Structure 1
Amino acid sequence: MISNKAKYAFRALLAVASAPEGESLTSAEIARRNSIPHKFLEQILLDLKKAGILDSRRGKSGGYVMLRPADTISFGEVLRLFEGPLAPLPCLSRQSYRKCEDCESEVRCEIRREFGRAYEASRQVLDSRTIADALRDGASIPEIRHDDRLAG
């Protein structure tokens, strides 16, 4: 599961990206519209600004604007910013690779192989889908089936 911090970052990005061109949103507006605790949101917005994704403007018409186009910001990029590496095992990570301490052979490891398949599939989706894609496809949200036997 993703943290609230990451979820709120996505909500904030979607709100700012959906604002009319050249229009900024204040942190208070973003917080109110998206049910995000304002103090928590301020830290998230600062992280997005430090990462070069958002910019802030001062003054009467101040607030946050997109620094980069929404179609250049992938869900994977934002998720890594707030959650760190996405790989479920250290031996699968591209950025933070390390061999599992108890591993005899990565080539023969069934656990690595199966989690590698799942990780590669999710990584491809997260790295190919952008904030702009989510805004454009918002009307056609796929239904998510809940299976009580698998709930964790």
Structure 2
Amino acid sequence: MISQKAKYALRALTALAQADPEEPMLISEIAVQQSIPKKFLEQILLDLKRSGIVVSRRGKQGGYLLLRPADAITFGEVLRLVDGPIAPLPCLSQTAYRKCDDCDGEHLCEIRHVFARVADATRDVLFSTTIADAVEGAGVEVAAVDADGAKAEAEQVRELLSA
């Protein structure tokens, strides 16, 4: 599950992607438009700025802009920045690997094998879906296709476990 902070970050980025790329958006505009608490949004935008995703301008015409094109910012990048590793188990993390405390051997762990497929599919979707895709509604199509594939795979796993 992603955090509320990650959802707010994604919503703020979609708001910036929909705005005029030459006109900075005020934090207060984004906060009202996206129903995000202003103080929380300030922290989020500061993190995004430090990571080179947005830039701020000061002064009368100040505010925030995307630093990179919306089609170059992936959901995976944002989620990893805000929430940390994208993995259902610590032994599957690509950025913060840690052996599971109760594991006798990763190659023998049936649970790990199932969740490795889940992690791979999740990362595939998140790192191939951009802020631009979300703005254009393309993410909805990807999610529907992946959900159908996930349902079929879940059924296969159930059959294997019940055999």
Say yes or no: TM over 0.5.
yes
Tell me the alpha carbon deviations over residues 87-123 of structure 1, each in whole angstroms, 9 at most, x when there is no partner. Answer: 1111111111121122112112101001111111111
Instruction: Specify the code of the residue in structure 2 equivalent to 1:64.
Output: Y
Q: What does residue 43 of structure 1 align with? A: 43
Q: Is the 8 A contact 2:21 2:66 kept in 1?
A: no
Instruction: Specify the code of the residue in structure 2 equivalent to 1:98.
Output: R
Instruction: Specify the code of the residue in structure 2 equivalent to 1:78.
Output: V
Q: Distance in 2 between matches of 1:42 and 1:139?
A: 26
Q: Distance in 1 between matches of 2:82 and 2:40?
A: 13
Gaps of 5+ in 1: 145-152
| 1:81 maps to 2:88 | no
1:138 and 1:117, CA in 2 relative to 1: closer, same or farther beyond 3 A?
A: closer
Q: Distance in 2 between matches of 1:93 and 1:47?
A: 22
| 1:104 maps to 2:107 | no
Gaps of 5+ in 2: 148-163
For 1:116-135, what aligned pairs fall within 5 Å after superposition? 116-135=116-135
Q: Secondary structure at the match of 1:97?
A: coil
Instruction: Specify the code of the residue in structure 2 equivalent to 1:120.
Output: D
Q: Secondary structure at the match of 1:24?
A: coil
Paired-residue identity, %: 60
TM-score for the superposition, normalised by structure 2: 0.83
Q: Distance in 1 between matches of 2:139 and 2:107?
A: 43
Instruction: Specify the code of the residue in structure 2 equivalent to 1:129.
Output: T
1:100 and 1:140, CA in 2 relative to 1: closer, same or farther beyond 3 A?
A: closer
Q: Distance in 1 between matches of 2:43 and 2:84?
A: 17
Q: Distance in 2 between matches of 1:110 and 1:104?
A: 12
Q: What does residue 19 of structure 2 align with? A: 19
Q: What does residue 3 of structure 1 align with? A: 3
Q: What does residue 149 of structure 1 align with? A: none
Higher percent of residues as helix: 2
> Displacement of 1:44 after TM fit?
0.5
TM-score for the superposition, normalised by structure 1: 0.89
1:37 and 1:95, CA in 2 relative to 1: closer, same or farther beyond 3 A?
A: same
Q: How many residues align?
A: 144
Q: What does residue 68 of structure 2 align with? A: 68
Tell me the alpha carbon deviations over residues 13-38 of structure 1, each in whole angstroms, 9 at most, x when there is no partner. Answer: 00011111211100000001111111
Q: Is the 8 A contact 2:25 2:63 kept in 1?
A: yes
Instruction: Specify the code of the residue in structure 1 equivalent to 2:124.
Output: Q
